[in-house]
Amino acid sequence: MPIPILTEVANNGGGTSGVGAAVAQQLALRGAQIILLTQQPPSDPFLVDYIEDIRSATNNELIHAEQVDLSSLHSIRLFATRWVDNAPPRRLDMLVLCANTMTPRFGRADLTQDSIESNWGINYLANFHLLGILSPALRAQPPDRDVRIILGTCSSHIGGEINALKDTRSPLPPRKEYGTSKLALMTFAQAYQKHLDAYQRPDKQANNARVILVDPGLTRTPGMRRWLSMGSLWGLLLYLITWPIWWLTLKSPQMGAQSFLYAAMEADLGTGSGGRFVKECRERGFLRKEIRDEQVAKTLWEFSDKQIEALEKEGAARRAREKKVGKADNEKVATKDQKEQGESKAPRSNGAKAPGSRRSRKA
C-alpha cells in the first residue's frame, strides 16, 4: 500500500528544486504517495507541469500538491487545520520538512508576511507552528505504523546563539541569523519528541512517532549558491568563474538527498527513541549541549508560543480591517451603479430630450 508522505519541495523563493525535490522524486520512485507542500496554488501552470513530469518520470500517479505559504502563519494554520479536521483522520506516515531560506552576507534581509525576519520565520517558526497544529494528526495514527517526522538542518547550527534571542520582529543575533534558526529548530525537535512521548494513547500503546534530524551536507542547491555568491553581482560572477571547483567539491541534490532517504527508510531508526541526528547516512551525536537542555527548550517553546499568538492576533486584526475596507468599497460601487441605473430609467417630463439628442444640440 502506498505510504502517504507530506514533503516540502520549495523554498520561499518558489522554486521546486534542491534537496526537497530530489527526496520527493526518490520516494515517488519507490511507490510512495506524495503530497507536495508548495507556495504556489495547485492550479499554477508551472506546478502542474512539474507534477506531471514527476509522475511520468517515476510512473507514479499518486503525487499531488497542496498550497502552504511558509511565510504566512495564517496560511500554515489554514492548511494544518483542514488536515486535522478531516474525519476519519487522514493517513500520514511521514513528514519531511526541508524548506529553507538564508540571507547572504551582502543581501538585504527579507520579511515574511507577518513582518518577521525570514530566517527565523521560515526556517524555524513555520515548522514550529505547523508541527504544533499537526500534533493530533500524528498521534492519531494506528500503533502499528512507523511514523517519522524528518527535519532538515545544517552544520551552521554550531555557530548559533540561541540564548541571545530578542522579543522583536528580528529576534536573531546579527551575523548569526541562519545558524541560530537551525539551532532553534534542532532544540525544538528534541522538545517535540518529548511532547509526543508524553501523550497517553487511548489504546495504551507506546508512541509510534519519531523525530529525526538530517544534515544533507554541502550541496549544490539554490541556497548554497546564494551563500557562496554573498548576495552580490560580483560574488555571483566569482561563483560562475569558480563553478568547476564547486561542481567537484559540493554534492548534487540527489547525493544530498541520500541522508534524507536513509532517515526515511532505515529500519533501525523506526525503533527505540526518537530525536536522533543523521549526517552522511550515519547517526551522529550533537555538538551543542543546548539541543538537549530541557530548560533551554522550555524557554524557546514558551517564547515561540507567545510570539505566534501575538502575530496571529495582529494578522487577524489586519485581515478584518482589509475585509471591512473592501466591503465598504464594494458598497460604494454598488450604490453608484444603482444611482446611474435609476437616472437612466427615470422618465423625462415636458418632452425634454437627452443632452446628447439631435434636438438638444440644435438648441
Catalytic annotation, pick one of 176, 182, 204, 313: 182
Annotated catalytic, 182?
yes
Contact 37, 16 (CB under 8 A): no
In the three-class reduction of DSSP (H, G, I as helix; E, B as strand; rest coil), residue 232 is classed as coil
Helix pair 294-345, 73-85: axis angle to 10 deg: 100
Buried-exposed string 140-168: b where 16+ CB fall within 10 A, e elsewhere: ebeeeeebbbbbbbbebbeebebeebeee
Backbone angles phi, psi at 192, to 5 degrees: -70, -35
DSSP string, 276-291: EEEETTEEE--S-GGG
Q: How far apart are CA 173 and CA 185, in angstroms?
A: 15
Neighbours of 324 (CB within 10 A): 10
Q: How far apart are CA 332 and CA 40, in angstroms?
A: 33
Cell numbers at residue 164, please? 541571545
Name the DSSP letter for residue 114. T
In the three-class reduction of DSSP (H, G, I as helix; E, B as strand; rest coil), residue 218 is classed as coil
Contact 184, 162 (CB under 8 A): yes
Per DSSP, helices labelled H in the chain are 19-29, 45-58, 73-85, 118-120, 126-139, 177-197, 222-229, 233-241, 243-249, 253-265, 294-345, 358-362
Residues annotated as catalytic are: 182
